[in-house]
Structures are given as C-alpha cells and as structure tokens.
Amino acid sequence: MDLAALKTQLKNFVQSMFEEGVLDNQFSQIQALQDSTNPNFVEEVITLFCNDAERIINEINRNLGYQNVDFSNLDSYVHQLKGSSSSIGANRLKLACANLRQASDERNKEGCLQALQLITCEYCLLRRKFQALLHLERSIVELETNQK
C-alpha cells in the first residue's frame, strides 16, 4: 500500500472511532500536538494512558474483591481513570467510569462490580483500536523514512 493510501486509511480509522463514540474531539487536540519536535507524541501518550488504565482497573478489581470495600479508596481510583480517559478523549470509557462513580457513591458493591465489567469491556475495545491505530502510524513512519 502506498503512503497516501495508508494515511487515508489511518484518517478513516480514526474517524470511525469518533463516529462510534470511542473517541471524542479531545483526541484531535492530542493529535494536533504531535509535530516534528514531538514526532512520537501520540504513541507515547497512548502507551502512558494504557499502562495507567490497566493498573487502575486492576486496583479497582482488587478493591472490590474485599468483603469490606474501601469506597473512598475506590473513589480515588475512579477519579483518576475518569480524568485520564477524559484527557485522552476516550469518550465511552469516560462514560463507563461515571457508572462506577455513581455505584461507589451509593456504596453499592454489586453495582460497582457490574460497572467495572463495562469499564473492562470498553477499555479492551479501546486498547484494540489504539493498537491498530499505532500499527498504521508506525507503517506510515517506516514508509516515510524509506522514501527519504
């Protein structure tokens, strides 16, 4: 596939993520921050976000495994995940966090477990799509480098 076609494929793929509500306009802001002084910025931010998100989801899972759940501790983790989801433009994941926040506010452990399931699903979907996006970006960089 030639460079222009790859770039079009990437553009269309990102557009589909917007249309599905997986990403929102905040992700466009992040893409706009990538330039020649920060050529790998998008990949670095995605990697940072995914590492943090997985750590937080694991911590939430662990917290909900206790008989007596520390809901204030849980609140802190949900706050972090919702904040980073919002900052990277992970729209559906951010919305899923709102469900967990509400269940946590109500001290509803069962509700928290259900909300965590949704968060895990949304995160797995997002991660798969981010991996595909980064694969396309790397292919573009490789082709551009070979053409120089």
Partner 1 sequence: MAPTLPSSDQASDQDNWDNGRLARKRQLLIEIVLRNRLTALVVDGDTTCRVLEQLLLRSYGVQTQGVDNGRDAVALIASGVKFDLIIIDMILPVLNGLEATRQIRDMGVHCKMLGVTICSGESERQAFLAAGVDVFIEKPLDPEHLVPILRELDGQ
> Under the rule (CB under 8 A), what is the footprint of partner 1?
3-4, 7, 26, 28-30, 32-33, 35-36, 38, 41, 45, 48-49, 52, 75-76, 79-80, 82-84, 86-89, 144
Total length of the chain: 148
Task: State in angstroms the smallest separation of the CB of 89 from partner 1.
Answer: 8
Task: State in angstroms the smallest separation of the CB of 82 from partner 1.
Answer: 5
Q: Which residues touch 26 (CB under 8 Å, ≥6 apart)? A: 86, 87, 88, 89
Residue that the structure tokens 């079009």 belong to:
8
CA 124/CA 35 separation, integer angstroms = 28
The b/e string for 53-80 (b: 16+ C-beta within 10 A; e otherwise) is beebbebbeebbeeeebebeebeebbeb
Give the three-state DSSP class for 55.
helix
Considering the complex, state which of residue 63 and residue 110 has its C-beta at the smaller distance from partner 1: 63
Task: State in angstroms the smallest separation of the CB of 67 from partner 1.
Answer: 25
Give the three-state DSSP class for 23.
strand
Considering the complex, state which of residue 20 and residue 144 has its C-beta at the smaller distance from partner 1: 144
Considering the complex, state which of residue 68 and residue 145 has its C-beta at the smaller distance from partner 1: 145
Considering the complex, state which of residue 46 and residue 67 has its C-beta at the smaller distance from partner 1: 46
Considering the complex, state which of residue 35 and residue 110 has its C-beta at the smaller distance from partner 1: 35
